Amino acid sequence: MEAVIVLLPGDGIGPDVTECARRVLAAVARKFEHQFEFSEQLIGGAAIDTTGEPLPQATIDACETAHAVLLGAVGGPKWSDPNAAVRPEQGLLKLRSALGVYANIRPVSVHDELAGASPLKAEILDGVDLLVVRELTGGIYFGEKTRSESKASDLCIYHTHEIERIVRVAARLAADRRGRLCSVDKANVLETSRLWRDVTDRIMAAEFPDIEVETLLVDAAAMHLLRRPADFDVIVTENMFGDILTDEASMLAGSLGMLPSASLGDTARGLYEPIHGSAPDIAGRGIANPCGAIASAAMLLRHSLALESEAAAVESAVSAAISGGARTADIARPDQAPVSTSEMTDEIIRCLN
């Protein structure tokens, strides 16, 4: 097949890991006889430095006409002033809104060989295989914000239709997995969470009666993710809770650098990115873990291009490289010499071929 893929390297280690994902996608195209055209565009701090905007119109136009978008990371100390009128993160929020990608899907699983890299005991990690489905375009991140000398506010708003559509996405994913859905809210305190719970209960009872539903308050969910992570199948939650819980869940896998994500809407076009940040302290040093970006490329193949065999081949290659002993510094054992970002990618491509 032919496909146009927009690359948004961004800031920090974003360019490092995005180039690795591009190399893997190019290897997939060669192996499976596809034609992928890559278009690199600006976002985040790099875009601010070049154009004065965190998301230039040229980037939006390119993304809206592409088959899929692969993002690296945005932000860094250079642009870290929270009081600045223009910030890198604004570009990411604007991009999600422009593409209408309201469902952020973050898989979390543990490679057996990496169990020792997690701060949790190996027996707790046995059997961990979960998805977090995070609502991505509503809630407190997108609500009206006010600030005076002595007061500030961030408005959290959710509409019924926003909750209905994300719950349906999560429920369909659960139906194709182990049939269990955990909805996370803070209904004992927040009115938005009370609406979230009412809508979730109604949708699940009426449309997905065969799915086993568990409801947890967000503080309890945070505890149980560390105490009994293997019990979770699919977790669905609102924007800010999902942001926090998925970073916590990354520790199950041993490193933020291991985990991918897909942001999807009502069309095949999606936005794919590793869940880690820009890590400017290690940018350009050749030590960043590219596995999250490469696994994000696998999700791109699956969800936007409908290339399931190719996606599975990439995921198998990542697993084979790790099983064969390839480790970047963040996941290496104390007695093991780590490989570089590029060397890790070389090994994954070798395993793919």
pLDDT at 334 over 90: no
pLDDT(54) > 90:
yes
Could you give the domains of the chain?
1-107+260-353 (3.40.718.10), 129-251 (3.40.50.2300)
Assign 162 a pLDDT band (cuts: 50, 70, 90): very high
For residue 19, name the pLDDT band (cuts at 50, 70, 90).
Answer: very high
228-249 mean pLDDT: 95
Q: Per-residue pLDDT for 250 more than 90?
A: no
Query: Cβ distance 125 to 250 under 8 Å?
Result: no
User: Does 340 score more than 90 pLDDT?
Assistant: yes
In 165-265, which ranges are E strands? 180-185, 212-217, 234-237, 262-264
| pLDDT mean over 29-45 | 98
For residue 68, the number of C-alpha atoms closer than 13 Å in the C-beta half-sphere is 28
Does pLDDT of 247 surpass 90?
no
Give kind and range of the element (H or E) at residue 131. strand 129-135
User: Band of the pLDDT at 256, cuts 50, 70, 90?
Assistant: confident
pLDDT at 86: 95
pLDDT above 90: residue 219: yes
What single-letter DSSP state applies at residue 118? S
Helix (H) or strand (E) holding 256: none
Query: What is the rounded distance in angstroms from the CA atom of residue 57 to the CA atom of residue 31?
Result: 35
Active site residues: 141, 186, 219, 243, 247
Q: What band does 265 get if pLDDT is binned at 50, 70 and 90?
A: very high
Q: What number is the average pLDDT over the span 294-303?
A: 98
pTM of this prediction?
Answer: 0.92
